[in-house]
Amino acid sequence: MMKRAAWPIASAVLLGYPLIFSTPFQQRLGALILLYAIGASAWNIVGGYAGLISVGHAVFFGCGAYGALASYQYLGLPPIGGLPIGVAASIGIAAIVGIPTLRLSGHYFSMATIAVAELVRLVVSNSEWLGGAQGLSGPPVPRTLLDLSFVSALPYYYVFLGVLAAMLALTRQMERSRIGYYLRAIHDSERAARTLGVPVSRYKLYAYMMSAALTAVAGALYAVMFGFVDPESGLGILISIKMLIMAALGGAGLLLGPLAGAVILVPLEEFSNSLLGGVGAGVTFLVYGAIIVVIARLQPGGLLRPIPGALRKRSARAKS
Amino acid sequence: MNPTGLARLLAAAAFGLAVTGAAFAQSVKVGAIYPLSGVAASVGVYAKAAIEVATDIVNNDHPELGDLPLAKGAGLTGLGGAKLEVVFADNQGTPAAGQNQAIRLITEEKVVAINGAYQSGITLTASAAAERYGIPFLTGDSVAANLTERGFKWFFRTTPIASDFARIYMEFLKDMKAKGARIDSIAIVHENTEYGTSVASVVTSTFKANGLNITQNIPYSANATDVQSQVLQLKDKKPDVLIFVSYTADAILYAKTMKSLDYKPPIMIADDAGFSDPSFVAAVGNIVQGVFNRSSWSVGAPGTKTYLVNDMYKKKSGVDLDDTTARIMQGFMVLVDAINRAGSTEPAKIQAALRATDLKPSQLIMGFKGVKFDEKGQNVLASALVIQLQNGVNYVPVWPKDQAAAEPVLVYKGW
């Protein structure tokens, strides 16, 4: 009953948010929440469902961001026109990186993804064509509507909401189809899944490539909104970690987990920076970090996972 | 209601408006976006101190500071003595946070202008937001060339940029050649992130265009823990002139390695940054005697306005102003002077006042030839001096001649 009511309520809240909280900063905050939710949801496919903890998703985010701005820089396209280029590049990289690294298990996979991401960041930092250490920028002033450069955050909000909805619908579809079952089987026990005839390597790679492509979408949208990317802001390890933390905090492997994580963390970060940033000396991050620790301590499975956890406890008690 | 009653009512309403108007003029908010956390946090914290000193100069009477705009009298005299209020924001070292904070300052805090943001990439995104909202943005410190090439109407920059430095080095070297120095082969050693690569490439192209030969180009990582191979390459080729573009820790490492490998170039030039850092001078100043550097800042003799400003700053932060923090303070002062001349908190009037800026050297703390913006918003009178580390641990201005305090000593002494 509650579950059935949750969807319309969530949709109504998301659609109505910028009309109720209508100051420019609040609308922008809403757009940022959705943008980070898109990135974290993309990570969730491989990190949550398949249980492969990637700490190098910044590579794919960077593909999207660099694809968008490079296609403006060299082809004169509106940045969003570079989206297919970024997505194609991310799928290509995912295939090249995935085939050897997906064979690694547990934290060895995580370490390999960090190494690849840092490698790509260094290569891009030294590649003049991609702006080197100075980065690439988008059109300084919008030329046409297609440049998607708006003063108000409202258009961004609804564009991001549409993308997020489409992405979640796709993920939901995936959850219920063969690949979804396979991924969960792999997550629970890779050896058992293999014994049952699941083509483990192939499906891990599919999930990895799908996650990469969707992460590139997030990167391209970021580049369109901010109009600038450099190696640190497009490929830095903090980006990978943010995606991971948001998904994990909200509930990795749950459809709405990443969105829940973003709803908590993005406002927390923006408000703590706005209220405390001017004080200096990083008070912001102390507060931010402390709250993450508190949530992780009280709700280790993610915010959206209280009910299954409680059930397990109850059944454990019943057995004893 | 009879006509006199109506007139009285209108008069009362007008009076009420005038009173609220005056109440609004009590303080004028200006935003300042700097890296108060992240890897560049130390610069941001010093920038904040510098801006707080500048705010003190504006808000309190400082007759001892002479021609410095707004030093005499308290508050913004052009706005009926309104107090200046600075709202600081942390850019966290990311372009996204910089832009978010710019929008917050404009829409929530209602600042009339913004100053910032140190890292060029962040100045780029933050000023793009200000441009869209039609709020003046002035940077006193970001040097990336593309910032003023965007066709922006609300963006202004007071600092000299890489092409200015390159021209100064080139003219200085040509002058030294006229005095008998050899400058046939020039080596440039630079750290390999944005700062080092961009300055090195501008220096290289400017030198080439003016017939000076860059014969060796050595990029390195500022995190390096060993630079022996780089120094040995230099020792092998023996360039006449060696130019460093370095941060602090790596500059110290080079100074020590050059001493241990006993290598001294005939002329050594360093591009500000690491070689100007007070901690560099304290650590290895005695083994890089005679290095040339550039600066637009000089503390000056006791009693001068720069000396007094430095004194105020030192009381607040515990260190002397260096070229970077002084440029930040100067940029902020130029912005506040424009707001004062505009006599209004309307962004368009402040923009017009910035365009009309014409400050003379006596009105500045920096050694610029003045402040005057071209149509791109770049200060065309920005300049720098060549300074040299002489007699221990003090940099003294040595070039150009009319601003020199001592003669340039040729032949690098080292230790």
Query: Helix B162-178 crosses helix B194-209 at what angle (to 10 degrees)?
Result: 50
Whether chain B has a CB inside 8 Å of the CB on A274: the answer is yes
Provide the 10 A C-beta neighbour count for residue B259: 16
How many residues are there in chain B?
415
Q: How far apart are CA A133 and CA B155, in angstroms?
A: 23
Going from the C-alpha of A54 to that of each of A76, A220, B214, the distances in angstroms are 34, 20, 45
Residue of A nearest to B146 (CA): A137
| A23: chain B residues, CB-CB within 8 Å | 107-108
A228 in contact with B, Cβ within 8 Å: yes
pLDDT reported for residue B20: 43
Chain A residue with minimum CA distance to B133 = A151
The more confident residue out of B43 and A91 is A91
As a whole number, mean pLDDT of residues B385-406 equals 85
Both structure tokens of A48: 């949550």
Q: Which tokens go with B392?
A: 């221990």
Is A230 in contact with B95 (Cβ distance < 8 A)?
yes
DSSP character for A48? I
Q: Model confidence at B7, in pLDDT bands (50, 70, 90)?
A: low
Q: What is the pLDDT of residues B234-293, one digit of tens each?
A: 999 999 999 999 888 899 999 999 999 999 999 999 998 788 877 788 889 999 999 999
- Confidence band for B401, pLDDT divided at 50, 70 and 90: confident
Q: Which residue is closest to A275 within chain B, CA to CA?
A: B89
- Do B156 and B147 form a contact (C-beta atoms < 8 A)? no
Residue A249 covered by a domain: yes
Packed helices A200-226 and B95-107: angle between N→C axes, nearest 10 degrees: 40
Report the range out of A311-315, B11-15, B230-234 with the highest average pLDDT: B230-234
Chain A residues with beta carbon closer than 8 angstroms to that of B88 = 277-278, 280
Q: What is the pLDDT of residue A171?
A: 94
Touching A: B residues 81-100, CB under 8 Å: 87-90, 92-97, 99-100
Closest Cα in chain A to B198: A134
* Chain B residues closer than 8 Å to A274 by CB: 89, 101, 104, 108
CB A41 within 8 A of CB A221: no
The mean pLDDT value for B358-384 works out to 93
Does residue A1 sit in helix, strand or coil? Answer: coil
Q: Hey, are the CB atoms on A140 and B128 less than 8 Å from each other?
A: yes
A146 — pLDDT class (breaks 50, 70, 90): confident
Contact in structure between B203 and B217 (CB atoms under 8 Å): no
Give the CA distances from residue A124 to residues A74, A127, B18, B224, in Å, rounded to whole numbers and listed in that order.
Answer: 16, 5, 58, 19
User: What pLDDT sits at residue B183?
Assistant: 93
Chain B residues touching residue A133 (CB < 8 angstroms): 192-194, 197-198
The rounded distance, in Å, linking the Cα atoms of B188 and B203 is 9
Between the CA of residue A77 and those of A72, A73, A91, A216, what are the distances in Å?
5, 8, 21, 18
Please give the CATH number for the structural domain made up of B163-295+385-403: 3.40.50.2300
B125 vs A273: CB contact, 8 Å cut-off?
no
In this structure, are residues A197 and A34 in contact, taking their beta carbons and an 8 Å threshold? no
Going by their DSSP bridges, the two strands B114-116 and B27-34 should be labelled as: parallel
Give me the residue from B41, B107, B197 closest to A25, CB to CB: B107
**Contact assignment for A23 to B108 by CB distance below 8 Å:** yes
At B187, which helix (H) or strand (E)?
strand B186-191
Query: Is the Cβ pair B150, A278 closer than 8 Å?
Result: no
Residue from B217, B247, B248, B249 nearest B233 by CA? B217
pLDDT digits (tens, 9 = 90+) for B168-179: 999 999 999 998
B141 pLDDT exceeds 60? yes
Q: Name residue B57's amino acid.
A: I
Residue B36 and residue A278: Cβ atoms within 8 Å?
Answer: yes
Q: What does each C-alpha distance from B383 to A120, A235, B366, B399 come to in angstroms?
A: 38, 36, 9, 12
pLDDT cut 70: percent of chain B above it: 94
Q: Read off the tokens for A26.
A: 């609040």
* CATH number for the segment(s) B22-160+301-363: 3.40.50.2300
C-beta atoms of A132 and B125 within 8 A: no
Parts of chain B belonging to CATH 3.40.50.2300: 22-160+301-363, 163-295+385-403
Residues 6+ apart with CB under 8 A from B149: B376
C-alpha A247/C-alpha A303 separation (Å) is 10
Residue B279 half-sphere exposure toward CB, CA atoms < 13 A = 11
Find, among B330, B336, B368, the residue nearest to B353 by Cα: B336
Q: Is A281's CB within 8 Å of B101's CB?
A: no
Residue A154 lies in a domain: yes
Which one of B37, B125, B144 has the shortest CB-CB distance to A226? B125
Name the residue of chain A whose CA is nearest to B149's CA: A140
Q: Which amino acid is at B172?
A: F
8 Å CB contact between B154 and B136: yes
End-to-end CA distance of chain B: 92
Contacts of A130 in chain B (CB under 8 A): none
C-alpha to C-alpha distances, A296 to A211, A250, A305, B67, nearest whole angstrom = 25, 10, 12, 58
Shortest CA distance from B34: residue in chain A: A278
Chain A residues with CB under 8 Å of B105 CB are: none
Instruction: Report CB contact under 8 Å: A277, B101.
Output: yes
Structure tokens given for B195: 């700062």
Helical residues (DSSP H) of B114-210, grouped into ranges: 120-133, 162-178, 194-209
Q: Could you read off the pLDDT of B52-78 as tens digits, one per residue?
A: 999 999 999 999 998 899 998 889 999
Q: A92 CB contacts (<8 Å, ≥6 apart)?
A: none
Separation of alpha carbons A174 and A196, rounded Å: 20
Tokens in use for A90?
């991310």
From chain A, the residues in CB contact with B132 under 8 A are 149, 151
Q: How many residues does chain A have?
A: 320
Q: What per-residue confidence (pLDDT) applies to A1?
A: 46
Chain B: nearest CA to A271, how far in angstroms?
10
State the best of B107, B192, B194, B376 to mutate against chain A, taking most chain A CBs within 10 Å.
Answer: B194
The whole-number average pLDDT for the span A213-238 is 94
Q: In this structure, what is the dihedral angle of CA atoms A312, A314, A318, A319, given to the nearest 10 degrees?
A: 20
Would you call B303 exposed, middle or buried from its count of C-beta atoms within 10 A (0-12, 13-18, 19+)? exposed
Write out chain A residues lying below 8 Å of B90, CB-based: 273, 277-278, 280, 284
**CB-based contact B121 A230, cutoff 8 Å:** yes
| CB contact B133 to A (< 8 Å) | yes
Q: How many domains does chain A have?
A: 1
The confidence band for A288, taking pLDDT boundaries of 50, 70 and 90, is confident
Helix (H, G, I), strand (E, B) or coil at B292: strand
Task: Look at A233 and B94 and tell me if their CB atoms are within 8 Å.
Answer: yes
Rounded mean pLDDT, B185-207? 89
Domain range enclosing A310: 12-319
Q: Is the Cβ of A227 closer than 8 Å to some Cβ of chain B?
A: yes
φ/ψ (deg, to 5) at B151: 70, 25
**Are the Cβ atoms of B87 and A133 closer than 8 angstroms?**
no
Beta carbons of A280 and B99 less than 8 Å apart: no
Average pLDDT of chain A? Answer: 88
B386 φ/ψ angles, rounded to the nearest 5 degrees: -95, 130
Helix boundaries (H) for chain A: 2-20, 24-44, 58-75, 83-101, 107-125, 154-176, 178-188, 190-195, 200-226, 231-235, 237-250, 257-276, 283-298, 306-319
Distance CA A220, CA A24 (A): 22
**A115 Cα to chain B: minimum distance (Å):** 18
Q: What's the mean pLDDT in B108-123?
A: 92
- Which of B36, B48, B127 best probes binding to A when mutated, by most A CB atoms within 10 angstroms? B36
* Residue B144 contacts A where some CB pair is shorter than 8 Å: yes
Least trusted range by pLDDT, from A67-76, A215-224, B158-167, B393-402: B393-402
**Selected residue of B34, B37, B192 to mutate for chain A interface (largest A Cβ count, 10 A):** B37
A233–B128 CB contact, under 8 Å: no
* List of residues 6+ apart from B93 with CB closer than 8 A: A232, B35, B37, B38, B39, B40, B41, B119, B122
The H-assigned helical ranges of B210-277 are 228-237, 248-260, 273-276
Q: Which residue of A has its CA nearest to B32?
A: A278
| pLDDT at residue A202, as a whole number | 93
Q: Is A281 on the interface with B (CB under 8 A)?
A: yes
Contact of B194 with chain A, judged by CB distance below 8 Å, is answered with yes
| Facing B92 at nearest CB: one of A137, A140, A273 | A273
**CB contacts < 8 A (A, B):** 110
Exposure string for A136-149, b = 16+ CB within 10 A, e = fewer: bbbbbebeeeebbb
**pLDDT tens-digit series, residues A157-196:** 999 999 999 999 999 999 999 999 999 999 988 899 999 9
3-class secondary-structure state, position B189 = strand
In a domain? residue A5: no
B132 interface with A at CB cutoff 8 Å: yes
Does residue A160 form part of some domain? yes
Q: Angle CA(A242)–CA(A48)–CA(A301) in degrees, nearest 5?
A: 85
Look up the CATH number of the domain holding residue A87: 1.10.3470
Give the pair of three-digit tokens for residue B293.
Answer: 């550097």
- 8 Å CB contact of B41 and A282: yes
**CB-CB under 8 Å, A273 with B150:** no
DSSP B154: S
Q: How far apart are CA A272 and CA B406, in angstroms?
A: 51
d(CA A228, CA B19): 45
